């Protein structure tokens, strides 16, 4: 059914990813193994998505340890925001945060709008949370969105991709066809958030009775969490940029103070020389 997906949905054909996904599906995988597999799969998906959606531009000249000159490179667009869907999306953050070059701009205008937002969520089931996150970022002025997931249902991916067809590109490791009455993908990965963060405790079984009562509120809660995640990610970026600006400001003030001291010292030396000439 992958061929019936919208043009802005891309399904990985990487053989290593497919094998790792098969291992991730196993209910016997420990929490540590689950984390490792999520990280490895996320890296493969990210490499495929970034190769198609991020460009390299030439930068300044630099020299190697042997003194040879070369031209540096930087990625474009220059304003990229990582937006994990809480909580399971946090399991994919490090793969992209540590591999995307970032240099805070200490002179630019502080703005919440990014040229490219990368939404990360291991599983897209109904697509409601994904659609809500895409809608929020679009309202905030984001120019383009990459949505990266390990697994998605056919219907969920169509819903997410259709939220903003011209502005969103969805990349997934695989597609499962069915979603059960509880909103879980079949065969799926289980509750990936519990598997990543419960340290082996099956929270899904513990809460199964309560889920039936509160299922109608699940989507509302996750939409709220997704919006908090977007805000927090941008808040952290803004704080880093503000700290960099404060550092640059203090350095500039220190430079001006040192310059003034040197000027005053120079004037004092010139004055002493003039007085010596008069005395002579």
Indicate the domain borders of the chain: 9-58+72-100+112-200, 217-279
Question: Between 30 and 70, whose confidence is greater?
Answer: 70
- How far is 48 from 44, CA to CA, in rounded Å? 6
Residue-wise pLDDT tens digits, 89-147: 787 877 776 666 654 444 444 455 678 888 999 999 989 889 999 998 888 888 999 99
- How far is 107 from 260, CA to CA, in rounded Å? 24
- Reported pTM: 0.66
User: Is the bond preceding 77 in cis, omega lying within 30 degrees of 0?
Assistant: yes
Q: Helix, strand, or coil here: 120? A: strand
> What pLDDT was estimated at residue 245?
75
Largest CA distance in the chain: 103
Percent of the chain at pLDDT exceeding 70? 72
> What pLDDT was estimated at residue 197?
76
Q: Helix, strand, or coil here: 135? A: helix
- What CATH topology corresponds to 9-58+72-100+112-200? Rossmann fold (3.40.50)
> What pLDDT was estimated at residue 86?
79
- How far is 189 from 186, CA to CA, in rounded Å? 8
Residue 166: CB partners within 8 Å, gap ≥ 6? none
Question: Between 273 and 165, whose confidence is greater?
Answer: 165
DSSP code at position 88: G
């Amino acid at each position: 059914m992958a061929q019936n997906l919208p043009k802005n949905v891309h399904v990985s054909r990487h053989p290593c990813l497919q094998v790792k996904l098969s291992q991730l599906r196993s209910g016997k995988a420990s929490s540590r193994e689950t984390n490792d597999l999520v990280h490895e799969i996320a890296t493969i998906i990210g490499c495929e998505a970034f190769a198609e959606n991020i460009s390299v531009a030439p930068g300044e000249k630099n020299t190697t340890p042997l003194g040879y000159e070369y031209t540096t490179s930087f990625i474009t667009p220059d304003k990229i925001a990582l937006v994990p869907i809480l909580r399971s999306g946090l399991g994919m953050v490090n793969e992209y945060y540590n591999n995307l070059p970032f240099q805070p701009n200490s002179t630019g205008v502080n703005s919440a709008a990014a040229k490219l937002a990368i939404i990360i969520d291991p599983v897209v089931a109904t697509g409601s949370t994904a659609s809500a996150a895409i809608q929020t970022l679009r309202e905030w002025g984001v120019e383009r969105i990459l949505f990266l997931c390990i697994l998605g249902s056919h219907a969920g991916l169509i819903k997410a991709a259709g939220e903003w067809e011209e502005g969103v590109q969805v990349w997934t490791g695989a597609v499962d066809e069915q979603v059960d009455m509880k909103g879980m993908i079949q065969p799926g990965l289980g509750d990936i958030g519990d598997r990543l963060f419960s340290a082996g405790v099956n929270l899904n079984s513990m809460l199964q009775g309560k889920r039936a009562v509160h299922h109608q509120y699940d989507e509302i809660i996750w939409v709220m969490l997704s919006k908090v995640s977007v805000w927090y990610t941008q808040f952290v970026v803004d704080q880093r940029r503000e700290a960099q600006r404060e550092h640059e400001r203090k350095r500039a003030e220190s430079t001006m103070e040192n310059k003034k001291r040197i000027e005053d010292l120079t004037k004092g030396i010139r004055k002493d020389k003039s007085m010596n000439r008069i005395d002579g």
